[in-house]
Amino acid sequence: MGSKIFVNLPVESLDRAVGFFTKLGYTFNPQFTDANATCMVISEDIYVMLLVKPFFKTFTQKEIADATKTTEVLIALSQENRAAVDALMEKALAAGAKETKEKTDMGFMYQRSFADLDGHQWEPFWMDPAAVQPQQ
Sign for the pseudo-dihedral over CA of 70, 8, 20, 38:
negative
Residue 135's pLDDT band (cuts 50, 70, 90)? low
Let me know the angle formed at the C-alpha of 35 by 29 and 40, rounded to the nearest 5 degrees. 25
Residue 2 has pLDDT above 80, yes or no: no
The reply to whether 1-58 and 66-135 are identical in fold is yes
Gap between the Cα atoms of 51 and 8, Å rounded:
7
User: Is domain 1-58 in CATH 3.40.50.300, yes or no?
Assistant: no
State the chain's mean pLDDT as an integer: 95
pLDDT (tens digit per residue) in 43-80: 999 999 999 999 999 999 999 999 999 988 999 999 99
Q: Does position 94 have pLDDT exceeding 80, yes or no?
A: yes
Per domain, the residue ranges of the chain are 1-58, 66-135
CATH architecture of 66-135: Roll (3.10)
Structure confidence at residue 75 (pLDDT): 96
**How high is the pLDDT of residue 72?**
83
In this prediction, residue 110 carries a pLDDT of 97
